[in-house]
Amino acid sequence: MNENINHRNIADIITTAMFLFIIFAFTVLFFALPDAAFSDEENRSLQQFPEFSLETLTSGKFTENIGEYYADQFPFRNIFVGAKTAVSYAFLINQNKGAVIAKDGYVIQRYDLYDDTESNFDLDLTFNENMQYIKSNCLYINAFKENLAEIGNIGLTFSAVPRKIDIMTNKLPVFFPSDRNQIYYDILEENINHEIYHDLKSELLSKNDEYIYYRTDHHWTTLGAYYAYHSLMGKLGISKRPPFYQEIYPIEKEHFLVEKVSDDFYGTTWSRAGVKWIKPDEIYYFRGENKTDAEIFITEIHGWRTIEGFYDFELLQTKDKYASFIGGINARTSVYLKPDEIYYPNGRGKLLLITDSFGQSMAPFFAWHYDLEIIDLRFFNGNIYDLIIDLHINYVLILQGMESLSTQGNLVKLLTKSER
């Protein structure tokens, strides 16, 4: 019996020693390893050691930041995040940080907790506040329409890019509570001027058996952007505003050379969820039949950088491969196709595309028909009306993701300064 007790004591001592060794080893590693400034996998900046002051200590901000610092700088953090997600998935817990682990390798961001008093996963906004953002943004767009009428004969179309959770419903787990997502679009349709509104949701829903949204990212794929372009051209193309008087038809898919340029793209939703076993996405470019974009050049006003062609191939070597479309997010981007006489002997129209990141992969399609000016109101602070007049814009397309419409108020910049 004493021998059994001794064996148990030895086992307890070994277990305790191993436990203390692990704690000691991780403590040493924590202080020995340099702090990381940025996580490529999560595509975000990591918390650095916070600056101490009496004010931050008494307010609780210092201890809050310290907690975030330890969580972000913990040794081998990415490995533990992936392991935690794998264990949760094994126990049929198919969510992590608001990202739903869905069918066929899809990771889909959800946006609220279906409780009017709870804030969503990313922002301190309740569902009712999301609805208020949609109403306000519709007000700004409607006012913009009236202001454009005073400038001249300028066309305007507005469309909301559906979220992946609204379209890829066939990938969601059984009994997943998604009914309330339709309310976003009900509020939009109740408040927007229907003379300018074009619905993309119905078109994309009919295509959700195809690869139209990335599995690991919130953006649509190039194919999804193509279907949206094809649908929108039905509204934009009937314009007979100067300097072009012919109807403009979308280019059919078979006239593009579809080229796979990456098979290792991991998007932001994958980064959030920590699902390390999910396969990466593929990125495709829809290029001209001669497999060259040499006659297209893009001038990105933000940063004064010029690239040849629709795509920045260098960015395919980075984590944010989606940014390769027209060189990524910028305050203002100019896209011109030369020589334009090949396509429209009577001249091409000038389209102002007011968009967020969804417009990046759609812009190359519109560039075959229009000279493009693209602005992102998250960063553009110039006078939109001066831009329209100075550049002789014929048509304006406002293309905003539903996530942006329900969480951001940047479209207030569509108003004149006296209206704000």
Domain shared by 260 and 350, yes or no: yes
- Residue from 411, 306, 309, 315 nearest 356 by CA: 411
Q: Assess contact for 402 and 166: CB atoms under 8 A.
A: yes
Q: Assess contact for 126 and 135: CB atoms under 8 A.
A: no
Domain shared by 163 and 57, yes or no: no
The reply to whether 103 falls in a domain is: no
- Rounded Cα distance between 373 and 154, Å, is 15
Q: Hey, what are 385's tokens? A: 């009306």
Domain shared by 376 and 298, yes or no: yes
Burial of 110 (0-12, 13-18, 19+ CB in 10 A): buried
User: pLDDT tens, position by position, for the chain (420 residues)?
Assistant: 455 555 556 655 666 666 566 566 545 545 555 666 555 555 556 666 666 676 666 666 656 666 565 555 555 455 545 444 444 443 333 455 578 888 898 999 887 665 555 555 555 788 889 999 999 999 999 999 999 999 988 889 999 999 999 999 999 887 777 778 899 999 999 999 999 999 999 999 999 999 999 999 999 999 999 999 999 998 876 554 444 445 678 889 998 989 999 999 999 888 777 777 789 999 999 987 655 553 455 665 555 677 777 888 899 999 889 999 988 888 888 887 765 545 555 567 889 999 999 999 999 999 888 889 999 999 999 999 999 999 999 899 999 999 999 999 999 999 988 888
Domain shared by 214 and 71, yes or no: no
Domain shared by 174 and 314, yes or no: yes
- Rounded Cα distance between 284 and 305, Å, is 24
Domain count, the chain: 2
Domain shared by 339 and 275, yes or no: yes
Where residue 392 falls (left for φ over 0; alpha for ψ -120 to 50; beta otherwise) is left
The reply to whether 119 falls in a domain is: no
Domain shared by 223 and 338, yes or no: yes
The reply to whether 349 falls in a domain is: yes
Domain shared by 201 and 88, yes or no: no
The reply to whether 420 falls in a domain is: no
- Residue from 207, 206, 236, 199 nearest 223 by CA: 207
Domain shared by 173 and 86, yes or no: no
The reply to whether 111 falls in a domain is: no
For 308, the domain range is: 127-414
Coil/strand/helix, residue 161: strand
The reply to whether 107 falls in a domain is: no
The reply to whether 120 falls in a domain is: no
Pairing status of strand 257-265 against strand 155-161: unpaired
The reply to whether 121 falls in a domain is: no
